[in-house]
């Protein structure tokens, strides 16, 4: 089983300047994900996809590979994970004839990610990969989307008029509505060949449900402080 770990770490963060290399407890943020992958029980190749030579040098110093610099046009605020990962897989195939079986994506904004959770998710996905395209970690969503609206022409338009034979769910008690789950970006795993279908999730996604208290995704300065205070 050939496992490729991709850590996407562009340089243009706006909320926290150079967030991915800012020191988190004396180590650049992106290096925490490198170390997590290195400590997995699984043997995997670890590549940091970045548009910055400075970031690449830091990644190299902590044992990750940076065989290329990501083009600036797919390193923008609105650039997608798909673009980043497809570029990486295409580069490896075209330049090294390297084709992994599965891809593990670790976002650098999760420095408190647990090694045992990485290994458990890989265990589950390897066992079930013939029936699923991908695995994604999720948390139960506290706010029901069935009670939400759009505003069109100064009028509230419910997102859902009916769900599971429940009419006007926006007028119902939250407790009787179906549970919904939010992708938290903690761990993503997928069969590498689904990239040929222009997707990194596919339609058959295995849900790994997590406790919301176990996840701190650093996006803002408040998130950073919370994560630092939660570090043990």
Tell me: the pLDDT tens digits for 100-148?
A: 999 999 999 999 999 999 999 999 999 999 999 999 999 999 889 999 9
- Structure pTM? 0.93
15: pLDDT confidence band, cut at 50, 70 and 90?
confident
Task: Report whether pLDDT(231) > 90.
Answer: no
Domain boundaries, the chain: 3-138+182-230, 145-176
Beta strand residue intervals within the chain, DSSP E: 3-8, 23-24, 27-28, 45-49, 102-105, 134-140, 149-152, 155-158, 162-163, 166-167, 181-191, 205-210
What is the architecture of the domain spanning 3-138+182-230?
Alpha-Beta Complex (3.90)
Q: Are 3 and 42 in contact (CB under 8 A)?
A: yes
17: pLDDT confidence band, cut at 50, 70 and 90?
confident
The predicted structure's pLDDT at residue 164: 92
Decide: helix, strand or coil at residue 13.
coil
Decide: helix, strand or coil at residue 176.
helix
193: pLDDT confidence band, cut at 50, 70 and 90?
very high
Task: Report whether pLDDT(180) > 90.
Answer: yes
Task: Report whether pLDDT(232) > 80.
Answer: no
150: pLDDT confidence band, cut at 50, 70 and 90?
very high
Tell me: the pLDDT tens digits for 18-62?
A: 999 999 999 999 999 999 999 999 999 999 999 999 999 999 999
The predicted structure's pLDDT at residue 13: 83
Tell me: the pLDDT tens digits for 57-84?
A: 999 999 999 999 999 999 999 999 999 9
1: pLDDT confidence band, cut at 50, 70 and 90?
very high
What mean pLDDT, rounded, does the chain reach?
Answer: 95
The sign of the CA dihedral 209, 213, 215, 217 is positive
């Amino acid at each position: 089983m050939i496992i490729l770990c991709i850590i996407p770490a562009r340089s243009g963060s706006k909320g926290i300047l150079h967030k991915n290399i800012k020191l988190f407890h004396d180590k650049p943020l992106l290096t925490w994900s490198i170390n997590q992958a290195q400590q997995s029980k699984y043997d995997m190749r670890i590549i940091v996809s970045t548009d910055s030579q400075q970031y690449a040098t830091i990644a190299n110093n902590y044992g990750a590979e940076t065989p290329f610099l990501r083009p600036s046009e797919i390193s923008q605020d609105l650039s997608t994970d798909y673009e980043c990962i497809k570029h990486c897989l295409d580069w490896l195939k075209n330049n090294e004839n390297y084709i992994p079986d599965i891809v593990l994506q670790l976002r650098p904004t999760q420095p408190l990610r647990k090694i045992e959770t990485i290994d458990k998710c890989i265990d589950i996905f390897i066992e079930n990969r013939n029936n699923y395209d991908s695995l994604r970690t999720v948390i139960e969503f506290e706010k029901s989307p069935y009670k939400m609206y759009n505003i069109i022409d100064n009028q509230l338009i419910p997102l859902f008029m009916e769900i599971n034979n429940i009419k006007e769910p926006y007028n119902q008690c939250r407790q009787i509505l179906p549970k919904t789950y939010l992708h938290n970006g903690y761990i993503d795993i997928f069969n590498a060949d689904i990239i040929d279908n222009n997707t990194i999730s596919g339609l058959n996604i295995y849900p790994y449900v997590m406790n919301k208290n176990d996840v701190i995704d650093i996006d803002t300065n408040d998130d950073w402080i919370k994560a630092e205070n939660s570090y043990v």
